[in-house]
């Protein structure tokens, strides 16, 4: 008779279980990296959107991004229209909330209270606040996002 014995089947199942257990941590770290990469790209794109809207004089206004840093809470950031976050037109706010595993750490921006406000001048797109902010994942990984005096936005 031909076929597999019970011992052979158990050995194959055992090997598959060992491979699955060994690959689970790798898959988990890939998810963290993907989440960090995607969130970093979204923050950079939001900053670039604010700058481009300001250069284009969209709605004849300046635009900016407000980083709401909540110590012990969930951080978020807001794309807004206006000369500052305090003087913005709230009808145009676009708020993006983080998952609890992500947070901002100010590196070198000038703070507005405990938060960061980056506003781009209407027509020229020059930022009123330059520096870096760190996007941090609680388990592993950081991304540094910078805005220079010419308005260039990049990930370091």
What does the pLDDT look like over 40-58, one tens digit per residue? 999 999 999 999 999 999 9
Taking only the tens place, the pLDDT of each residue in 100-131 is 889 999 999 999 999 999 999 999 999 999 99
What angle (nearest 5°) sits at the alpha carbon of residue 96, between those of residues 94 and 97?
145
Overall pTM > 0.85: no
Q: Are 51 and 148 a contacting pair, CB within 8 Å?
A: no
Q: Tell me, what's the pLDDT at 1?
A: 67
Which range among 1-10, 28-37, 74-83, 110-119 shows the weakest confidence by mean pLDDT?
28-37
Evaluate if residue 26 carries a pLDDT over 80. no
- Residues 6 or more apart from 13 whose CB is under 8 A from it? none
């Amino acid at each position: 008779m031909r076929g597999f014995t019970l011992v052979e089947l158990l050995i194959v199942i055992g090997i598959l279980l060992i491979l699955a257990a060994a690959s689970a941590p790798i898959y988990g770290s890939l998810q963290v990296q993907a989440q960090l990469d995607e969130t970093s790209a979204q923050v950079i794109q939001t900053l670039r959107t604010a700058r481009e809207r300001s250069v284009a004089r969209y709605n004849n206004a300046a635009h900016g991004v407000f980083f709401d840093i909540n110590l012990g809470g969930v951080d978020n950031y807001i794309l807004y229209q206006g000369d500052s976050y305090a003087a913005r037109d709230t009808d145009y706010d676009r708020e993006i909330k983080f998952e609890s595993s992500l947070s901002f750490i100010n590196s070198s921006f000038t703070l507005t209270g405990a938060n960061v406000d980056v506003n781009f001048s209407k027509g020229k797109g020059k930022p009123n606040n330059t520096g870096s902010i760190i996007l941090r994942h609680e388990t592993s990984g950081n991304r540094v996002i910078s805005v220079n005096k010419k308005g260039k936005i990049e990930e370091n």
